[in-house]
Amino acid sequence: MRGLALAAMLFTTTAWAEPTPPDLIAPAAFDYYVLTLSWSPGFCDTGGESRSPEQCDSGSNAAFVTHGLWPNDSNGGDPCGDKGQEDYVPSNALGIGERVYPTRGLAIHEWRTHGVCTGLDAAHYFKAVQFARDEFTIPENLRHPTAQFRTSATEIEKAFMDANANLTPESMAVTCQRGELIDVRFCLTRDLRAFAICPDVARRSCRGSLSVSPPR
């Protein structure tokens, strides 16, 4: 079944100019990654402040932050299954994770629930997350806006496509909650070399207008 799923899946052209280091390529069997960049102001405005006060503190100036790099299957299944929730994260790996994610707690959570099913160890998983994130360019108008503004998911998608070659709407989603931007999700191949076409993710994109709050 996995072979059929992979054969049916389409990929765009190569996304990055720089090759992925071989030790960051996941050996586990899954179809594609979802790289999620969380918009901190929207996350904090919609209940995130109680879960991550450090990220939401006034003066944190957090804008787009890395939320996760999640293995996904094209049939909608969860490739992690019961592999998640490994408790131990080596201190040297956690040091890398703390540089990738906005908080230590999120780094631990992401490794336990997603990283363990990539087949990478914790240090290399965090490095893979950083590699994927570093290849993305954030559109100028979404880096650090100084005032709230209204836009649409379509306009945000267009801004990211203009800033990142070969990205298409079929490989991404803009999510919102209570009318606010929450995150932007990008589908990537397991080797982090190309955008994956992912209808299950793309169809979750918001419809209509939404607001973008400035960093705190």
What class has domain 2-212?
A: alpha beta
pLDDT in tens, 183-199: 999 999 999 999 999 99
pLDDT confidence band for 82 (50 / 70 / 90): low
3-state helix, strand, coil in the chain (%, to 5): 40, 20, 40
Contact (Cβ atoms closer than 8 angstroms) between residue 208 and residue 156: no
pLDDT confidence band for 51 (50 / 70 / 90): confident
Q: What mean pLDDT comes out for the span 197-205? A: 95
pLDDT at residue number 2: 45
- CA angle 203–160–11, rounded 5-degree value: 55
> What is the domain partition of the chain in residue ranges?
2-212
Higher pLDDT, 1 or 47: 47
Higher pLDDT, 13 or 90: 90
Mean pLDDT, all residues of the chain: 90
pLDDT confidence band for 5 (50 / 70 / 90): very low
Higher pLDDT, 79 or 146: 146
pLDDT at residue number 128: 98
Structure tokens at 109: 């959570």
pLDDT confidence band for 61 (50 / 70 / 90): very high
- What does 105-171 look like in DSSP terms, one character per residue? HHHHHHHHHTGGGSSS-HHHHHHHHHHHHHT----GGGTS-SS-EEEEHHHHHHHHHHHSTT--GGG
Spell out the residues 6+ positions from residue 20 whose beta carbon is closer than 8 angstroms to its own. 131, 191, 192, 193
pLDDT in tens, 92-145: 999 999 999 999 999 999 999 999 999 999 999 999 999 999 999 999 999 999
Give Cα 36 to chain centroid, integer Å.
Answer: 2
